[in-house]
């Protein structure tokens, strides 16, 4: 009878533990990184038979272990899906910002361009109307300002995406550092209960890391893992028993580049195929391409409009000058500057080649300008006139403050050059009109070209051959 009671008691105790584990699973259903626990039961074997005794029945049941419900294949598939989703989310978020910047309705680039052509077409129909000229002048300024502002906004968005990439890389490095600490705890832990909790923490960190960068996790031994960059497993090792890497971003002309720094040196992260960092780098490329296309649009439109405007005549009868320019100077303050200074560069002629360096001399209370070879080009306190450019400085500078000026060409530097409405060359140098008696539909195109050299003319001195008399001169004048 006692054996039966013991068997029943063992069953009650075992399933009480199972109910406790079920309650633990329910309580942690929304806990990040938690893996469901499963109770593994085993039979309590009875006594063995011998030559003089019969075999006894079982002695009930007991809990063998509490196991984490974990599948490495499912875990890697989930990690890959998480990385791909994070990559798409970060890419779409930044591209939507680009779309919002470009698609600004009537107040954006399209509206400014339409207004510019409409108002200049009005002037071409009524070139002697001063009000139409004034409206066209403002339309030209508005268009150039809109293009420059759009280019500035796009450059700001591109810089913001690059900053996002730096923050994402730093976050990934922090997760790797914390993950290495948890892995060391797992290696030194001897309690299965604490191991389960530590492994849950490790899985939660791996999930966070997979949102930032695409990773591959290999289980290399009892409770040991190796994490590499990219979902294929061919990338640099981010975490192993002997390695804890850091994720960095290098700025290149082609955009942010992921670099993995570890005891193996600095390796390019070309295997970065997913994660938020991948999406940000791809978005940077899209925005950079939009900037390049805007630069090409501004440069092409400026060249075409300048050529067309040069064929007309302004109110004074002079050939039209350039309407637009797409060049300028970009200022970069020194990292150790202690003052607060702004510089305006006004282009007055052909650009100076190379970089210009400005250095403040507090004792003389002036700025000195040097070319890339260190040759001093000029100096001044607030205004410095150089060949091709005039510099105007405002603000309070400290001794030794430096400014670097680089010549640039693009949409961000676009400006409208005409200052007076009378300078709009809306009149043609040749007027072509069809005779009222014409019955055909022929068209005549007139364009400027070089004058042909006259032929068959006598040399002037041959008219005065012989004696240089007043009579000969009179005969020449009468001709």
Q: What is the pLDDT of residues 239-286, one digit of tens each?
A: 998 889 999 999 887 788 899 988 778 888 889 999 999 999 999 999
User: Rounded distance, CA 313 to CA 319, Å?
Assistant: 5
* Structure confidence at residue 84 (pLDDT): 95
Report whether 392 contacts 405 (CB < 8 A).
Answer: no
Asked whether the whole model's pTM tops 0.85, one would answer no
SS3 57: coil
Instruction: Dihedral sign for Cα 335, 337, 339, 342, please.
Output: negative
Separation of alpha carbons 178 and 172, rounded Å: 10
Cα–Cα distances in Å, from 117 out to 110, 112, 134, 137, 267?
11, 9, 14, 11, 52
Do 88 and 214 contact (CB within 8 A), yes or no? no
Segments in the chain below pLDDT 50 = 1
Give me the pLDDT at residue 275, please: 95
Separation CA 381–CA 364 (nearest Å)? 9
């Amino acid at each position: 009878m006692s054996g039966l009671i013991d068997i029943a008691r063992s069953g009650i105790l075992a399933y009480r533990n199972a109910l406790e584990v079920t309650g633990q699973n329910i309580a942690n259903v929304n806990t990040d990184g938690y893996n469901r626990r499963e109770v593994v039961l085993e039979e309590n074997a009875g006594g063995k038979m011998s030559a003089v005794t019969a075999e006894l029945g079982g002695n009930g049941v007991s809990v063998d272990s509490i196991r984490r419900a974990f599948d490495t294949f499912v875990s890697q598939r989930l990690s890959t899906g998480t990385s791909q989703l994070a990559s798409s989310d970060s890419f779409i978020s930044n591209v939507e910002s680009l779309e919002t910047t470009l698609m600004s309705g009537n107040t954006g680039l399209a509206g400014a361009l339409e207004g510019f052509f409409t108002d200049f077409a009005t002037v071409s129909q009524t070139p002697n109307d001063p009000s139409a000229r004034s409206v066209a002048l403002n339309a030209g300024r508005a268009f150039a300002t809109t293009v420059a502002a759009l280019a500035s906004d796009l450059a700001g968005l591109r810089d913001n995406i690059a900053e996002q990439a730096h923050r994402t890389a730093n976050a990934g490095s922090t997760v790797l550092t914390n993950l290495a600490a948890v892995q060391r705890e797992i290696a030194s832990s001897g309690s299965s209960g604490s191991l389960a909790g530590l492994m849950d923490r490790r899985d939660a960190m791996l999930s966070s890391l997979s949102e930032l960068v695409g990773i591959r996790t290999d289980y290399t031994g009892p409770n040991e893992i190796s994490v590499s960059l990219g979902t294929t497993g061919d990338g640099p090792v981010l975490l192993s028993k002997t390695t804890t890497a850091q994720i960095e971003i290098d700025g290149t002309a082609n955009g942010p580049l992921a670099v993995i720094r570890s005891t193996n040196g600095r390796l390019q992260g070309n295997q970065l195929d997913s994660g938020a960092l991948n999406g940000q780098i791809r978005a940077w490329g899209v925005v950079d391409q939009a900037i390049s296309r805007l630069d090409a649009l501004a440069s092409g439109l400026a060249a075409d409009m300048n050529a067309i405007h040069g064929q007309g005549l302004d109110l004074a009868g002079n050939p039209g000058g350039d309407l637009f320019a797409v060049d300028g100077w970009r200022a970069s303050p020194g990292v150790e500057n202690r003052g607060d200074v702004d510089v305006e560069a006004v282009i007055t002629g052909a650009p100076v080649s190379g970089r210009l360096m400005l250095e403040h001399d507090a004792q003389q209370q002036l700025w000195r300008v040097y070319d890339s070879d260190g040759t001093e080009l000029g100096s001044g306190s607030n205004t410095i006139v150089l060949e091709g450019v005039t510099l105007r400085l405002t603000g309070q500078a400290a001794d030794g403050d430096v400014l670097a000026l680089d010549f640039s060409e693009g949409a961000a530097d676009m400006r409208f050059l005409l200052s007076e409405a009378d300078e709009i060359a809306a009149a043609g140098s040749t007027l072509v009109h069809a005779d009222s008696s014409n019955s055909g539909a022929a068209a005549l195109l007139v364009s400027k070209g070089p004058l042909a050299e006259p032929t068959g003319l006598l040399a002037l001195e041959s008219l005065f051959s012989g004696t240089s008399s007043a009579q000969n001169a009179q005969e020449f004048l009468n001709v």
